[in-house]
């Protein structure tokens, strides 16, 4: 893949709306907004290391031969039954073959030139050619779309009741969807599928379907001013992915796209430590059509339709006549079963916040103004969970198969969190700046203007 010229990222926004004064001082505004951003940067591996389309037949044959020799047997079927050279009991698994080279260059050589890897990329060293490693380059091919309906009601009143000189209240609501090719549109991301970077396009990691906000200011007697502001935002989404195996040969288990991603190896881009997106779902699916009440339906559909079948890398070995589908299944080189979620699986949570402040203003002559005050942030001390970048993990634990022990459910994941979420996902103060939704804070302040 090549790009003739670099294209600067751009964003085009349009909105159309109406505004109407319902009565003196009360204004209703309704807007439809659409924002399209294009040419943001996405990383792709131009050498396509680990891509199932580029099988190095010589390296694959050598890896199989080396494994059979290490086992002390002559055939793959014999190694499946018994592999005394590598295991005191039992037969070989796909992990053994992968460790000898039947794997991606990312797994075998950390992304460096890897002529001994069966899937070393386009420039894989076959037939005396030069071997190159992973070459992740940034391409201006990213895209995102925001669609939103925004409603706002504002009311300003002078002397509404005795003792209040001025009152201003605003309530707003937004119904929106923010879709993109990555969870974070502001930083450099890797495509979820190097061979088809536009395959996944779904809710961004900052997408909130519903956003309700309100705020008010009151001028009180004796130079006091009170203000309130509140936010109620619906939950952020999570992308469901297969858990990596942690062993060689991940491209035959959670690497369901066959593009070189999904094997769980960190050198493989921004998503390198993750398995592939759960087949049958999209970016940001958890919380957008799939939640704790029906996630087991999505898992069951995957288990019935995909689990037990070869990945594209496994199919490449079958097409080349190196293995049969039955042999790969017995070796554990097939897509895995996913564990069911608990019956009361937790969801990502809404953000709730209510702030209150009271200030007193005193003027010294005409030039100096003193304003002491007290503010309560998150006055009701709502327990908020799942801030951006720290929502429920979408990494789904796997059931066991040859070469892979059953993974225990993990608290804090989308198929391992019964009931209440763990405190590790609770919104905290962090740096102390922009701590929206963090535990209640009382602040005393003094402002001097001159």
- Spatial CA neighbour of 395 closest among 262, 210, 280: 262
Tell me: the pLDDT tens digits for 58-113? Answer: 999 999 999 999 999 999 999 999 999 999 999 999 999 999 999 999 999 988 99
The residue written with tokens 């998150």 in the block is 378
Q: What's the chain's average pLDDT?
A: 92
Tell me: the pLDDT tens digits for 331-366? Answer: 999 999 999 999 999 999 999 999 999 999 888 887
Q: Are 287 and 208 in contact (CB under 8 A)?
A: no
Q: What is the per-residue pLDDT for 1? A: 47
138-161 CB burial, b ≥16 within 10 A, e <16 = bbbbbbbebebebebbbbeeeeee
The residue written with tokens 């209150």 in the block is 356
Q: What number of H helices and E strands is found in the chain?
A: 7, 14
Tell me: the pLDDT tens digits for 218-228? Answer: 998 888 999 99
Q: Which position has the higher pLDDT, 430 or 271? A: 271
The CA distance from 283 to 281, in Å, is: 7
Helices (H), 84-230: 94-99, 105-109
Q: What is the per-residue pLDDT for 412? A: 95
Q: Are 214 and 169 in contact (CB under 8 A)?
A: yes
Neighbour count for residue 205 (Cβ, 10 Å): 19
- Spatial CA neighbour of 348 closest among 427, 242, 253, 245: 427
Pairing, β 189-190 against β 202-203:
unpaired
The CA distance from 334 to 343, in Å, is: 27
Tell me: the pLDDT tens digits for 371-390? Answer: 999 999 999 999 999 998 89
pLDDT over 60 at 2, yes or no: no
Find the mean pLDDT for residues 141-148: 95
Find the mean pLDDT for residues 274-281: 93
């Amino acid at each position: 893949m090549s790009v003739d010229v670099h294209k600067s990222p751009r964003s085009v926004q349009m909105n159309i709306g109406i505004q109407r004064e319902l009565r003196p001082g009360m204004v209703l505004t309704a807007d439809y907004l659409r924002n399209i951003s294009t040419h943001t940067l996405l990383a792709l591996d131009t050498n396509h290391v680990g891509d199932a389309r580029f099988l190095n037949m010589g390296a694959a044959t050598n890896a199989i031969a080396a494994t059979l020799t290490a086992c002390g047997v002559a055939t793959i079927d014999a190694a499946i039954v018994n592999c005394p050279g590598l295991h005191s009991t039992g037969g070989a698994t796909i992990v053994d073959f992968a460790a000898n080279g039947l794997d991606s260059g990312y797994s075998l050589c950390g992304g460096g030139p890897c002529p001994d890897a069966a899937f070393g990329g386009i420039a894989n060293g076959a037939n005396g050619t030069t071997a190159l490693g992973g070459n992740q380059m940034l391409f201006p091919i990213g895209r995102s779309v925001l669609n939103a309906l925004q409603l706002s009601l504002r009311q300003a009143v002078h002397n509404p009741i005795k003792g209040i000189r001025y009152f201003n209240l605003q309530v707003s609501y937004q119904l929106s969807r923010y879709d993109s090719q990555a969870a974070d549109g502001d930083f450099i991301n890797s495509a979820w599928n190097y061979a088809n970077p536009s395959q996944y396009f779904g809710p961004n990691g900052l997408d909130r379907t519903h956003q309700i906000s309100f705020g008010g200011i009151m001028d009180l007697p004796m130079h006091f001013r009170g203000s309130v502001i509140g936010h109620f935002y619906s939950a952020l989404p999570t992308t469901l992915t297969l858990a990596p195996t942690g062993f060689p040969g991940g491209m035959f288990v959670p690497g369901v796209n066959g593009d070189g991603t999904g094997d769980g190896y960190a050198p493989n881009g921004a998503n390198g430590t993750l398995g592939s997106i759960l087949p049958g779902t999209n970016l940001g699916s958890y919380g957008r059509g799939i939640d704790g009440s029906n996630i087991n339906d999505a898992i069951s559909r995957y288990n019935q339709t995909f689990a037990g079948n070869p990945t594209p890398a496994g199919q490449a070995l079958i097409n080349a006549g190196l293995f049969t589908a039955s042999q790969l299944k017995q070796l554990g080189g097939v897509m895995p079963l996913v564990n069911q979620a608990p019956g009361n699986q937790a969801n990502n949570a809404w953000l709730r916040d209510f702030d209150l402040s009271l200030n007193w203003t005193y003027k010294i002559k005409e030039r100096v103004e003193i304003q002491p005050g007290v503010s309560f942030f998150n006055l009701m001390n709502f327990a908020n969970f799942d801030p951006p970048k720290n929502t429920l993990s979408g990494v789904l634990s796997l059931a066991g198969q040859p070469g892979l022990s059953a993974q225990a459910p993990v608290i804090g994941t989308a198929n391992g969190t019964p009931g209440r979420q763990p405190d590790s996902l609770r919104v905290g103060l962090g740096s102390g700046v922009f701590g929206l939704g963090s535990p209640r804070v009382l602040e005393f302040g003094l402002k001097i203007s001159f």
